[in-house]
Every structure is written in structure tokens, then in C-alpha cells.
Homo-oligomer: A and B are copies of this chain.
């Protein structure tokens, strides 16, 4: 059993309104790669945010009084704080240099996923896509339209974690696959029935893709994962990966 993770190289700088699916197909085909049924495309959220114009110039932001206060407490740029809080539904942790919020989609992450890197301009930041599942579905549907093949799409972001140091890539949007593989009821090697195993495969796929995205220079924002037989679903959403705060032992 072999799973391949292939970096899609040579994508142009993405601008507002670009047809990502079409650009991804062109770039893959230039490197002799034709996207096939069952492929999984993992797309870094930053190019989705650029295509969807989720880019903000901090020079245009006038921080509120609340943002000024949080800025004083955390030491962060008050304009950035304004943008972060506008895209959050709750603050989970604040400390010097740290602002961990719950995004409108429910993800718990630093600065509501607002990113400075890979956006042009000194004071320019990128927000998460408004609805990353919708963004994933749009790419999936457009690939079907253009080439007639059924792929799954994951939109990824880089997150820190509780309890463990360093960051990993996780799924913030998805289309075409069940984000969790439910293995309860399967038997192990000795016939014991698995009781708790629910594997967050969309997160594992996002992490696997980072291996080609992260080892390259910053010009490889898309990976194709081939050979992984995933559970198909049109109803599943990356939001299933969010643990509701009231069920979280580390709220």
C-alpha cells in the first residue's frame, strides 16, 4: 500500500477573483500530472484567502476601544487585534504576545487564523476564508466541471496545539470526504473490537501535505495526495473537527 504526496509547483501569485481550480489543474498538467478520480487536493488557506479577497490592509483599520485594551494587555498591534476580534466569536486565552480565539467557524487558534506571511505588503494580513467548507466545495465542483473527475478537497491552516510544542497543518475546510474515519466496531489483530477509535483523517491529510508544502520554498501551496482510499461524503464538513467547548476538557 503506497500513498503519494505530490507538490503542485509553478502556481502563479494568486489574486482576488482567480479561478483556483483552473490554475491548480494548469500547474499540475504542466508538471505532467493529471488529476484523477480519488485524488485529494490539499490547498493552503492563504491562496484561497487571496482568491476570495480576504486580505486586509491594517492601514485601513481604526481599532475600537476594546481592541485598544486587548492590544495593551497582549502587546499586539491594535489594528491586528481589531481584525482578529472581528473574525472571532470568543476569546479563549490572552497573555503577553498571545491571543487565542475561537473563530466564527469554531476553530480554536492563535489570532483567529489571521496571517501575516505570504501576503504582499508590509501591513497586510489574510483572514481565514469566510466559509472554508464552501471554498473547498467550489474547487471540487469546478474540477468536476473542467475535467469530469471526482476529487476531495481540504483547505489547510497551520495551528499550534495545547500540550505539544510546534505547529502542524490541520483541515479548516473540506469537501467530498468524511473528515473523521469512524473505526469503532472494527476488530483488531486479536479480534478485540475497537471502542474509541475515530481518526481525524482530514487533519492527518493536511499534516501529510505539509511535508511537501513545507519543505519547498513558499511557492508550493497545493499538494495532491494519491492512493489514499478515503470514505466519501458530500455532507461532511471540517466543522465536525471542532470539539464543542462544553465537551472540551481543556476549554
Contact = CB atoms under 8 A, between A and B. Distances in A.
Contact of A165 (B207, B241, B250): B241
A58 B214 CA distance: 44
Copies in the complex: 2
A98 interface: yes
A162 interface: yes
Interface residues of A, number: 74
Contact of A1 (B7, B183, B208): B7
Interface stretch (A63-71, A76-84, A187-195): A187-195
23 contacts: A1-B215, A2-B7, A3-B5, A3-B208, A95-B249, A116-B192, A116-B195, A117-B194, A162-B162, A162-B248, A162-B249, A163-B248, A165-B180, A165-B198, A165-B243, A166-B198, A166-B199, A168-B204, A168-B207, A181-B214, A204-B208, A205-B211, A207-B207
Interface of A: 1-7, 9, 13, 93, 95, 98, 100, 107-108, 116-121, 158, 161-170, 179-181, 183, 187-190, 192, 194-201, 203-205, 207-208, 210-212, 214-220, 225, 228-229, 240-243, 248-250
